[in-house]
């Protein structure tokens, strides 16, 4: 896109803060402007883009599908700008690099990272994307969020989440397809996430099929996403295009907000947990 076609950065900043907080008032406090100014900026952005980004109720706002699609990239864009500025700014405090998978960034880290930076303005925070299954060496002033069966013995590690695989779909999909019991999976369009193979040695639906006690083979997938694009399977489920075997850390917010629902049991443990890891020598540093 030519730079001349970019929307106002002030409007994008207002949108990002409001989308992250789901509140025009809280976004205004963060940006040191009035709620009316935030609302006006977002209205102008919606007019320029030709889409609605928020559904507005008397006491709350929620993101539309367009807003949910836009938010992660805008958040990441502002973080990249901040990181670029921090790299040339004279050091004023400790640096912190957070390494994790894009799926964790989008669905768990980004909604919380601004809270950390707001309370720790002296820490220069950078985010680096890695694969969930990568077990690279942890660098200086670095923490990594990794999926592992066992914590490493050479690093400090804290378990933060025990992974479950959960059959999920949008409420409209479950309603329109009259989904009630595990046997219904035989007739539904299944979305396949290729990352699960790295941790189970088999496709996720094959693992779930066995756990559910279903006979016969898993039907052909409606759509299959490899390990470089698996996060899009989550978007397809949100859009009502199929049944996804979702990662619990990936979809718990969508479940709590009602954008996704659990289709049926069982929920399957892979014996994998997410750990925050860092060098043992740095585990007690305040910014770590």
Q: What is the pLDDT of residues 203-258, one digit of tens each?
A: 889 999 999 999 989 999 888 888 777 778 888 999 899 999 999 988 888 898 89
State how far the alpha carbon of 176 is from the alpha carbons of 56, 171, 180, in Å. 26, 9, 11
Query: What confidence category does residue 3 fall into, taking pLDDT thresholds of 50, 70 and 90?
Result: low
Q: Write down the pLDDT at residue 58.
A: 81
**CB under 8 Å to 202, separation ≥6 — which residues?**
none
Q: Write down the pLDDT at residue 91.
A: 64
pLDDT at residue 2 greater than cutoff 70: no
- Retrieve residue 193's tokens: 């996430």
d(C-alpha 200, C-alpha 212), whole Å: 16
Residue percentage of the chain with pLDDT more than 70? 97
Query: What confidence category does residue 4 fall into, taking pLDDT thresholds of 50, 70 and 90?
Result: low
pLDDT at residue 174 greater than cutoff 90: yes
- Say if strands 243-247 and 190-193 run parallel, antiparallel, or are unpaired: parallel
Q: Write down the pLDDT at residue 165.
A: 93
pLDDT at residue 30 greater than cutoff 60: yes
d(C-alpha 22, C-alpha 16), whole Å: 10
Alpha helices in 50-133 (DSSP H): 65-88, 102-104, 110-119
Q: Write down the pLDDT at residue 76.
A: 85
pLDDT digits (tens, 9 = 90+) for 61-120: 889 999 999 988 898 888 888 778 777 776 667 889 999 888 888 778 887 888 888 888
**CB under 8 Å to 110, separation ≥6 — which residues?**
20, 72, 75, 76, 79
Contact 276/158 with Cβ under 8 angstroms?
A: yes
Query: What confidence category does residue 142 fall into, taking pLDDT thresholds of 50, 70 and 90?
Result: very high
d(C-alpha 245, C-alpha 193), whole Å: 8
Query: Is pLDDT larger for residue 118 or for residue 56?
Result: 56
Mean pLDDT on 165-187: 94
The CB-side HSE value for 55 (13 A sphere, CA atoms) comes to 6
Contact 132/146 with Cβ under 8 angstroms?
A: yes
């Amino acid at each position: 896109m030519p730079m001349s076609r970019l929307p106002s950065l002030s409007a994008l900043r207002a949108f990002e803060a409001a989308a992250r907080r789901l509140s025009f008032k809280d976004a205004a406090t963060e940006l040191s402007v009035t709620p009316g100014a935030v609302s006006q900026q977002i209205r102008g952005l919606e007019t320029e883009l030709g889409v609605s980004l928020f559904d507005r109720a008397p006491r709350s706002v929620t993101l539309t599908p367009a807003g949910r699609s836009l938010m992660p990239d805008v958040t990441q864009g502002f973080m990249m700008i901040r990181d670029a500025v921090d790299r040339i700014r004279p050091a004023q405090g400790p640096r912190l690099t957070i390494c994790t998978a894009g799926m964790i960034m989008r669905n768990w880290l980004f909604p919380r990272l601004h809270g950390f930076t707001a309370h720790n303005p002296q820490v220069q925070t950078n985010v680096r994307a890695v694969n969930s299954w990568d077990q690279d060496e942890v660098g200086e002033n670095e923490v990594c969020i990794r999926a592992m069966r066992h914590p490493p013995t050479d690093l400090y590690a804290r378990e933060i989440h025990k992974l479950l695989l959960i059959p999920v779909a949008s409420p409209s999909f479950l309603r329109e397809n009259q989904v009630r019991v595990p046997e219904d999976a035989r007739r539904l369009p299944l979305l396949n996430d290729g990352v699960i193979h790295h941790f189970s040695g088999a496709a996720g639906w094959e693992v779930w099929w066995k756990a559910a006690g279903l006979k016969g083979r898993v039907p052909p997938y409606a759509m299959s996403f490899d390990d470089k694009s698996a996060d899009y399977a989550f978007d397809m489920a949100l859009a009502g295009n199929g049944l996804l075997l979702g990662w619990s850390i990936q979809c718990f917010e969508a479940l709590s907000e009602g954008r996704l629902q659990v289709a049926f049991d069982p929920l399957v443990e892979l014996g994998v947990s997410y750990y925050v890891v860092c060098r043992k020598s740095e585990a007690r540093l305040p910014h770590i």
